[in-house]
Amino acid sequence: RSQWLVQEVKQRQQLYSDFVQVSSCCFADALQRSEPDPGSLSNLYGEIGRMRLFSSAPVIKEAYEIAHKIIATYMDTNRSGEEVRDFLAQDSIDLFSAFGDACRAELAALAPHEAVRLTRLQSHPAPTLAQLRAAKQPQQREWKADVS
């Protein structure tokens, strides 16, 4: 049972990771285009279909919420590359929070011994884009010339 449980958790983590990847690409496309790419949307709904085989109702519900947000974004005004960068820099996108919470809850229920670690992950939200940029910039040091 323990080995099965580990495999099940890994399988679902990969499934959720694949969904996030596909939906991120669809969302990026939707920000700049009015016409949905049928191939991308079919991949998105294919990932949701895969989740329907294994995942809980709350995870499926949140996945559909993401898909609906993506479709709505296609109907919004297109954004230029610069506008997309500004949009992302302002941290105004919260596409995956509820989905991530539902996934963590499901995995915690599946593997209760991992619940403490999963809860710890939930209590430390992902850094914002501005925080990541600040962390990448080298620290400015003052250099003083030794004139002795």
Angstrom distance (rounded) from CA 85 to CA 74 = 17
CB 19 within 8 A of CB 95: no
C-alpha 101/C-alpha 104 separation (Å) is 5
CA distance 54 to 141: 52
Return d(Cα 103, Cα 43) in angstroms, integer.
20
pTM above 0.85, yes or no: no
Neighbouring CB atoms inside 10 A of 92's CB total 8
* pLDDT tens figures, 12-46: 999 999 999 999 999 989 988 889 989 999 999 99
Summarize pLDDT for 117-139 with one digit per residue, the tens: 544 444 445 544 454 445 444 44
